[in-house]
Structure 1
Amino acid sequence: MRLGVTMFATDLAMPVQDLARAAEERGLSSLYLPEHTHIPVSRRTPYPAGGELPEEYRRTFDPLVALSFAAAATERLRVGTGILLAAQRDPIVTAKALATLERLSGGRLTVGIGFGWNVEEIEAHGVPYGERREVARRHMLAMRALWRDEVASFDGFEPSWSWPKPTRTPPVYVGGAAGPKLFAHVAEYADGWMPIGGRGVKAALPALREACERAGRPMAEVIPFAVLPSKEKLDYYAGLGITETVAGLPSGPADVVLPVLDEYAAMV
């Protein structure tokens, strides 16, 4: 079982390059960073976990810029987005940025994407909330074409050159709750599923397998994401055939984060 970590990287948290080095030194496998482009102050959309929205949501670094620092500070640590809000990003610009990060990191990039929950944040990007899944799908299919094809074309842009190409297409995982809509997305254009919080994985596996079979592709991989780990939980996931789990870290300074990293490293 590989154990990675995720943290809201902000201007108040432990510097991301220090966090990356500390994770690698402790034998952890990966570092994932989330994304919120901005948080409208109206706060019309309630925080899904209930209560007040944590401050780190409005202070979040751009994940691709921050991950470039993490990759440059390490040699083996995988870096990833967890999650990138694909509907809110220009696919041509984002495909180039991700391909650049993949090449400069030596092929260590994983792309976790999601659809978002904050209505006003999404709509500020010109995307109707009810269409965000389909927009994210189109953006990911466009990015895959740009990574793959010497002359890439897709609905929304004419045949074009775009380099760099990644050394290998970065694996793409879709984050979110189990369900037929999400599993249809996974089966069509992703390599796997990131169940946020890691609950209900075992019960969902048959439906995910069925969606993949209908699409004529191998079973998707599963990475439980932002979980609170224990040795028993990791053993349980391993028994389901899961090979990587990502643990959540508090968004704080080094004296808060490092003791938690030490606890997680003891489980590896």
Structure 2
Amino acid sequence: MRIGLAAPQYGRFASLESLGLVAREAEAMGFASLWVGDRLLTPLEPKDRYPGGDGSIPEAHGVFLDPFAVLSVAASLTSRIRLGTSALNACWYAPPLLARSLTTIDQLSGGRLDVGLGLGWSSDEYAAVGVPWKSRAARYEATLDALEAIWHTDPVAYDGELWTVAPSRIRPKPVGRPPVLLGGFAPEALRRVGRRADGWLTASLPIRMLTSMWDTVLRAAEEAGRDPGALRMVLRANPVVTAGGSPPRSGPVPQIADYLNEAAAAGVHECVLDLQHTAENAPHLLELAGEFRSYLSAASAAS
């Protein structure tokens, strides 16, 4: 299992100093990847529950840096580590603009980008960017269609209900073909991953639930005539390190690492550790990251 880190982006970590230190040191320590998320605002009276914990939006999300800018800076500070989005709220962006931003990062990083996309969970954020909450799944599918056309055809022509791109040159293109990973847990979201993505973005779920959902992805890939073995499962973990707690969401490093090792044995290809909810500062984040990596690497060597 590859091990990645969430890049400093929100709360007390929303600074160039934190990002610079963690990006450089993560690469030097041998981490496989750096990932960013996508939050726009924190409603005072949210219409929707946050999909985690007790349903309350984490206080740290009140300060959140732009994901494209963060990855661009990370690209300039590193040379090997992969850069990913986990996940961009795809429906917020017009596809030509989204394609341009992601292609720029891929070009500037020498082809190190993993494109993770999702639907998001906050209707308040959709309203703020003027995008309808209803029919968002159809908009999502259309966004994926448009990105495919923009990235992989030349000249580009796209004619859909939501957007029209007249026959045009849209360059540069990405370096190669950036992997596209999709989030989601509903049956249709899982089947979408199998039908058209390179992998699935998931979270710290009970192992039996995780494997059941992954089976749905693999079956959908087979039904679509695709190779299930080519798909990746990327798990984002947001643990709070405590003396007690309830792993995998909280607890001591060894116990949380035990869950992640079990997830690896169940088929997870990459784990993204987001330690911004528990670390005190960037040096502490790197210290915790090193502890996790030691436990995860030791288990891998033992197997």
Shift in Å, 1:253: 2.3
1:240 aligns with 2:266: yes
Give the alignment's TM-score, normalised by structure 2: 0.81
Residues 18-67 of structure 1 deviation map (CA, whole Å, 9 limit, x = unaligned) = 21112112211111110012334442323232254223323111111101
User: What is the aligned counterpart of 1:48 among 38, 46, 51?
Assistant: 51
1:192 correspondence with 2:199: yes
- d(CA) in 2 for partners of 1:79, 1:44: 32
Preserved CA contact (<8 Å) 2:11 2:61: no
Distance 1:80 1:234 in 2: 20
2: CA distance, partners of 1:148 / 1:234: 36
Q: Secondary structure at the match of 2:87?
A: strand
Q: Cα deviations across residues 92-124 of structure 1 (Å, max 9, x unaligned)?
A: 011011111111101110011111111111122
Assess, with a 3 A threshold, how the Cα gap between structure 1 residues 98 and 71 changes in structure 2: closer, same or farther: same
Counterpart for residue 29 of structure 1: 32
Match of 2:285 among 249, 252, 257: 257
Describe the shift of the 1:105–1:56 C-alpha distance in structure 2 as closer, same or farther (beyond 3 A): same
**Residues 36 and 58, structure 1, Cα contact 8 Å, conserved in 2:** no
| Alpha-carbon separation, structure 2, partners of 1:27 and 1:183 | 31
1:92-111 map, 5 Å = 92-111=96-115
* Residue identity matched to 1:115: L
Equivalences for residues 140-151 of structure 1 within 5 A: 140-151=144-155
Summarize deviations over 1:236-261 as a string: whole Å, max 9, x none: 33333433221221255224312212
Q: Which runs of 5 or more structure 2 residues have no equivalent in the other structure? A: 240-247, 249-255, 298-303
1:29–1:67 Cα change, 3 Å: same
Choose between structure 1 and 2 for higher RCO, CA contacts under 8 A separated by at least 6 residues: 1
Q: 1:176 and 2:184 equivalent?
A: yes
Query: Could you tell me whether the CA contact under 8 Å between 2:257 and 2:292 is conserved in 1?
Result: no
SS class of match (1:224): strand
Which residue matches 1:68?
Answer: 72
Q: Measured at CA, do residues 51 and 202 of structure 1 come closer, stay the same or move farther in structure 2, by a change above 3 Å?
A: closer
Q: Give the drift of 1:180.
A: 2.1
TM-score, normalised with respect to structure 1:
0.91
Q: Which residue identity lines up with residue 269 of structure 2 in the other structure?
A: T
Q: Distance in 2 between matches of 1:243 and 1:74?
A: 23
Q: Kindly report the root-mean-square deviation, in angstroms, between the aligned alpha carbons of the 2 structures.
A: 2.1
Q: Structure 1 residues 237, 40: CA separation in 2 closer, same or farther (over 3 Å shift)?
A: closer
The letter of the residue matching 1:226 is A
Deviation at 1:198, TM superposition (A): 4.2
Q: Name which one, 1 or 2, has greater alpha-carbon Rg.
A: 2
Structure 1 pair 201/48, CA: closer, same or farther in 2 (3 Å)?
Answer: closer
Q: Which amino acid aligns with 2:236?
A: F
SS in 1 for 2:145: helix
Partners of 1:250 and 1:256 within 8 A in 2: no
Instruction: Map Cα deviations across residues 120-156 of structure 1 (whole Å, 9 max, x no partner).
Output: 1112223222322221221122112111011112221
Q: Note the C-alpha offset of 1:209.
A: 1.4
Contact 1:186 1:193 in 2 (8 A): yes
For residues 180 and 60 of structure 2, the distance between their equivalents in structure 1, rounded to whole angstroms, comes to 25
Distance apart, 1:90 and its partner CA: 1.5
Which residue does 2:2 correspond to in 1?
2
Unmatched runs of 5 consecutive residues or more in structure 1:
none
Match for residue 244 of structure 2?
none
